Structure 1
Amino acid sequence: MQHPLVRLLLPIVIGAGLGAALGYFGQCTSGTCPLTSTWWRGALYGGTMGLLIALTSRTA
């Protein structure tokens, strides 16, 4: 049985990692693309999406 904090933080960390990778390896150099302009912005979006997925997929 997993700790509830791990069940919440793991999707956030995975989402932030994927978002950061998308932002870092993305091809938008003009800075106008919201997801791929910087790695940290992609990490914020990815972490937020991971949090939303974790909160909506909880089982009682």
Structure 2
Amino acid sequence: IDTTGVIMRVKELFKGHKDLILGFNTFLPKGYEITLSTDDALPPKKPVEFEEAINFVNKIK
């Protein structure tokens, strides 16, 4: 597996964890860098429903 293959695999494994993906650049040789396109951005989070929020608060009381 070459460096480009490693980059693709890391992006796949760490999908949804932008900080981990970008942090992996530390381990790559000079001239290689993982960049994120808008397609790689985190999907929008679903808004929390009132009932879910109340259940969560009741669990941590």
TM-score, scaled to structure 1: 0.36
Structure with more helix by fraction: 1
TM-score, scaled to structure 2: 0.35
Higher RCO structure, 1 or 2 (CA under 8 Å, sep 6+): 1
> Of the two, which has the highest radius of gyration?
2
